[in-house]
Amino acid sequence: MARYLNEAELQPHRTRYWLNAKEKDPQQFQEKVETVCTTYFEAPRLYQKEHTHTICTDEMTGIQALERIAPTMPMQAGCVERREFEYERHGTLTLIGNFHVVTGELVTPTLGPTRTEKDFVRRIAQTVATDPMASWVFVTDNLNIHCSESLVNWVAKQCGIEQDLGKKGRKGVLKSVKRRSAFLADKNNRIRFVFLPKHTSWLNQIEIVFGVIMRKVIRRGNFTSVADLKEKLTQFIEYFNQVFAKPFRWTFTGRPLQA
Per-residue pLDDT of the chain (259 residues; tens, 9 = 90+): 788 888 888 888 888 876 676 677 888 888 999 999 999 999 999 999 999 999 999 999 999 999 998 988 888 898 898 888 899 999 999 999 999 999 999 999 999 998 999 999 999 999 999 999 999 999 999 999 999 999 999 999 999 999 899 999 899 999 999 999 999 999 999 999 999 998 888 999 999 999 999 999 999 899 999 999 999 999 999 999 999 999 999 988 887 655 4
From CA 141, how far away is CA 158, in angstroms rounded? 22
CA of 221: how far to CAs of 193, 211, 215, in Å?
Answer: 34, 14, 9
Q: What values do phi and psi take at 22, rounded to 5?
A: -105, 0
Confidence (pTM): 0.89
Instruction: Could you list the beta-strand ranges (E) of 35-118.
Output: 52-68, 87-100, 110-112
How far is the C-alpha of 73 from the C-alpha of 80, rounded, in Å? 9
Asked if residues 149 and 156 have their Cβ atoms less than 8 Å apart, the reply is no
